[in-house]
């Protein structure tokens, strides 16, 4: 698991540790890790000796880390110049160490920008976890110079201008190739739009012990441990049966897609109810179909309602019946809009899977006005808010997929897999069938949602291919699910056998 903590949590942990260590120890650990990453990058594109590095140095400890790291690079022969954004407020000891190692201060703004244009690497030490709001005007000319020159940036702790706790970006922010973060990840590095500014994130441990995380991201081994596996005693009913109520005369394909992924996702059988039964059976003869609605469709261990369902009276009846069934329930697409009309029905076994537009409707249904743009810019707070308002688990789809449970003390899961190629018609239908099947197999809503998002993202990457990838269809994503499943299971086995060889765990 990869964990992220809020600024408040980081400060509390740092405060405790600081008491036990000689003054400046944590900053030196941070600077050493930062310098090591920069050295690695410089070596990869040439050599350290004689390379040109520019530091953008703000008035707080983030600037100080940067100066200490700059001193280490200068000591290894790099030509390091520092732009001080506030001449009167700079960490004195860090500046002294920097100059002693051969670092120089750039002159006025024109000279600073000229240095940037010649640089091999820029370090962004403008502001870290002490930042408030977007970048201030003084930093902007340097930011523009960096963009013009196209020089790679290493962000120190986090890209300046990104909100550490939420990933929100108010105004301008630094776009980094790499972010070197200290002690623990910050939520803003994992959640868009902030995550997009952070580039590749590298964690430098500095010894702080932080309590339970605000945000966490599953890794291969976590997902492997959650995947349902049949045992010797399994039969199709014990593995779980998932019911899918989806599709309409206008959107029969949504039903086929949701069923297709459900078949590949752990449940022992899939029941379908709705008007697309003929299309579903033609594509998947193994599905049990009915047109009688959830109440008459036979026993299931979880229902998925919504993809392509439309929002007329028949759809409303379908939703009511599924809500009456005493099994876990996933609502997507049209079912979310129907739910928004009636407002929250708090149920801990409910999983809602809105995109930002559907989230806006759900928020309105609970009396909260917001725009799609606001939800996309503040994904983490809105995901939490929705889960709290509806008293259930919410999977908010989009460029970063988040899964939030109703208990605010439980970390929000951020999905680390995926590709923008998944933004293709029907890809959400694949996700809901997948998550529903996992619910039926017995996973809790938070696990079902986050494991589904993980596999969906991996399948998307597998289907779209290496490097930058290529366009994919939702059917191809569904077809790639077994490969994603095997990849996760195989990865975990490799880690386990390595662990055994090395006698770990």
Ligand X SMILES: NC(=O)C1=CN([C@@H]2O[C@H](COP(=O)(O)OP(=O)(O)OC[C@H]3O[C@@H](n4cnc5c(N)ncnc54)[C@H](OP(=O)(O)O)[C@@H]3O)[C@@H](O)[C@H]2O)[C@@H](O)CC1
How does strand 215-217 pair with strand 200-204? unpaired
156 touches ligand X (CB under 6 A): yes
CA-wise closest residue to 79 among 109, 107, 47: 47
Q: Which ranges constitute the DSSP H helices of 159-251?
A: 187-190, 194-198, 220-226, 236-239
Q: Residues 73-92: x/- map of binding to K ion (CB under 5 A)?
A: --------------------
How does strand 412-414 pair with strand 402-404? antiparallel
Closer residue to ligand ADP in complex, CB, 29/379: 379
**Residue from the set 81, 194, 344, 428 that interacts with ligand ADP by CB under 6 A:** 428
300 touches K ion (CB under 5 A): no
Q: Taking the complex as a whole, how short is the minimal distance between the CB of residue 43 and ligand X, in angstroms?
A: 24
Q: Taking the complex as a whole, how short is the minimal distance between the CB of residue 361 and ligand ADP, in angstroms?
A: 13
Q: Taking the complex as a whole, how short is the minimal distance between the CB of residue 3 and ligand X, in angstroms?
A: 15
**Residue from the set 163, 334, 429, 447 that interacts with ligand ADP by CB under 6 A:** 429
Q: Give the whole-angstrom CA distance, residue 173 versus residue 384.
A: 25
Residue 428 assigned to a binding site: yes
The number of beta carbons lying within 10 Å of the beta carbon of residue 469 is 15
Residue 429 assigned to a binding site: yes
Q: Which helix (H) or strand (E) segment is 47 a member of?
A: none
Q: Give the whole-angstrom CA distance, residue 77 versus residue 142.
A: 24
Q: State CA 77 to chain mean position distance.
A: 38
Q: Give the whole-angstrom CA distance, residue 332 versus residue 358.
A: 9
**Residue from the set 346, 348, 420, 499 that interacts with ligand ADP by CB under 6 A:** 420
Q: Taking the complex as a whole, how short is the minimal distance between the CB of residue 14 and ligand X, in angstroms?
A: 3
Q: Give the whole-angstrom CA distance, residue 135 versus residue 118.
A: 23
123 touches ligand X (CB under 6 A): no
Q: Give the whole-angstrom CA distance, residue 219 versus residue 495.
A: 12
Stretch of 36-44, 137-145, 391-399, 463-471 contacting ligand ADP, by CB under 6 A: 391-399
136 touches ligand X (CB under 6 A): yes
Closer residue to ligand ADP in complex, CB, 57/257: 257
Q: Residues 159-198: x/- map of binding to ligand X (CB under 6 A)?
A: -----------------------xx---------------
- Rg of the chain over all Cα atoms, to the nearest angstrom: 26
Q: Give the whole-angstrom CA distance, residue 148 versus residue 92.
A: 31
Q: Give the whole-angstrom CA distance, residue 232 versus residue 239.
A: 11
Contact 208, 183 (CB under 8 A): yes
Report the partner that residue 4 touches, choosing among ligand X, ligand ADP, K ion, none (CB closer than 5 to 8 A by kind): none
Q: State CA 191 to chain mean position distance.
A: 5
| HSE-CB for 182 with a 13 A CA cutoff | 30
Report the partner that residue 124 touches, choosing among ligand ADP, ligand X, K ion, none (CB closer than 5 to 8 A by kind): K ion
Binding residues with ligand ADP: total (CB under 6 A): 18
- Which of positions 151-190 make contact with K ion (CB under 5 A)? 155-156, 160
Q: At 199, give phi and psi (nearest 5°).
A: 65, -145
**Residue from the set 37, 290, 316, 399 that interacts with ligand ADP by CB under 6 A:** 399
CB nearest ligand X: which residue? Answer: 128
| HSE-CB for 123 with a 13 A CA cutoff | 37
248 touches ligand ADP (CB under 6 A): no
Q: Give the whole-angstrom CA distance, residue 275 versus residue 310.
A: 11
Q: Taking the complex as a whole, how short is the minimal distance between the CB of residue 246 and ligand X, in angstroms?
A: 46
Report the partner that residue 398 touches, choosing among K ion, ligand X, ligand ADP, none (CB closer than 5 to 8 A by kind): ligand ADP
Q: What is the largest CA-CA distance in the chain?
A: 81
Residue 499 assigned to a binding site: no
Binding-site annotation, residues for K(+)? 62, 124, 160
Enumerate binding residues for K ion (CB under 5 A): 124, 128, 155-156, 160
Enumerate binding residues for ligand ADP (CB under 6 A): 333, 355, 397-399, 401, 418-420, 422-423, 425-429, 431, 456
Binding-site annotation, residues for (6S)-NADPHX? 61-65, 128-134, 157, 254, 308, 355, 429
């Amino acid at each position: 698991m990869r964990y992220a903590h809020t600024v408040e949590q980081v400060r509390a942990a740092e405060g405790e540790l600081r008491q036990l260590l000689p003054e400046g120890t944590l900053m030196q650990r941070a600077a050493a890790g930062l310098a090591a990453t920069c050295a690695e990058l410089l070596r990869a594109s040439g050599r350290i000796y004689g390379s040109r590095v520019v530091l953008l140095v703000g008035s707080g400890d983030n600037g100080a880390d940067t100066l200490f790291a700059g001193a280490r690079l200068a000591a290894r022969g790099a030509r390091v110049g520092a732009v001080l954004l506030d001449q009167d407020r700079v960490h004195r000891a860090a500046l002294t160490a920097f100059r002693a190692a051969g670092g120089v201060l750039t002159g006025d703004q024109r000279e600073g920008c000229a240095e940037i244009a010649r640089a091999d690497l820029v370090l962004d030490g403008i502001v870290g976890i002490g930042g408030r709001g977007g970048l201030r005007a003084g930093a902007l000319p340097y930011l523009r110079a960096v963009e013009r020159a196209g020089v790679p940036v290493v962000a120190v702790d986090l890209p300046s201008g990104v909100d550490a706790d939420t990933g929100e970006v108010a105004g301008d922010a630094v776009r980094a190739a790499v972010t070197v973060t200290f002690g623990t990840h910050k939520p803003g590095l994992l959640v868009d739009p902030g995550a997009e500014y952070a580039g590749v994130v590298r964690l430098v441990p500095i010894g702080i012990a932080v309590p339970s995380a605000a945000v966490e991201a599953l890794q291969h081994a976590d997902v492997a441990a959650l995947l349902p596996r049949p045992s010797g005693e399994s039969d199709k009913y014990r593995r779980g049966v998932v019911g899918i109520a989806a599709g309409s005369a206008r959107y029969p394909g949504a039903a086929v897609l949701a069923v297709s992924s459900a078949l590949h996702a752990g449940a022992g059988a899939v029941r379908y109810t709705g008007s697309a039964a003929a299309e579903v059976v033609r594509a998947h003869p193994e599905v049990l179909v009915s047109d009688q609605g959830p109440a008459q469709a036979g026993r299931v261990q979880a229902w998925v309602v919504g993809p392509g369902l439309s929002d007329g009276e028949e759809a409303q009846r379908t939703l009511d019946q599924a809500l009456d069934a005493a099994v876990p329930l996933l609502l997507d697409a049209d079912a979310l809009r129907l739910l928004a009309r009636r407002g929250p029905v708090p149920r801990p076994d409910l999983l809602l899977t809105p995109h930002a537009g559907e989230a806006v409707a759900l928020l309105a249904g609970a009396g909260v006005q917001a725009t799609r743009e606001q939800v996309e810019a503040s994904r983490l707070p809105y995901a939490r808010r929705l889960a709290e308002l509806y008293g259930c688990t919410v999977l908010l789809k989009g460029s970063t997929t988040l899964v939030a449970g109703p208990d605010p003390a439980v970390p929000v899961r951020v999905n680390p897999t995926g590709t923008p190629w998944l933004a293709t018609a029907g890809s959400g239908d694949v996700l809901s069938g997948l998550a529903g099947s996992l619910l039926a197999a017995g996973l809790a809503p938070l696990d079902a949602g986050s494991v589904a998002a993980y596999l969906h993202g991996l399948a998307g990457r597998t289907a779209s291919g290496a490097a930058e990838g290529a366009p994919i269809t939702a059917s191809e994503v569904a077809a790639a699910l077994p490969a994603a499943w095997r990849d996760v299971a195989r990865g975990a086995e490799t880690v386990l056998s390595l662990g055994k060889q090395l006698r770990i765990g």
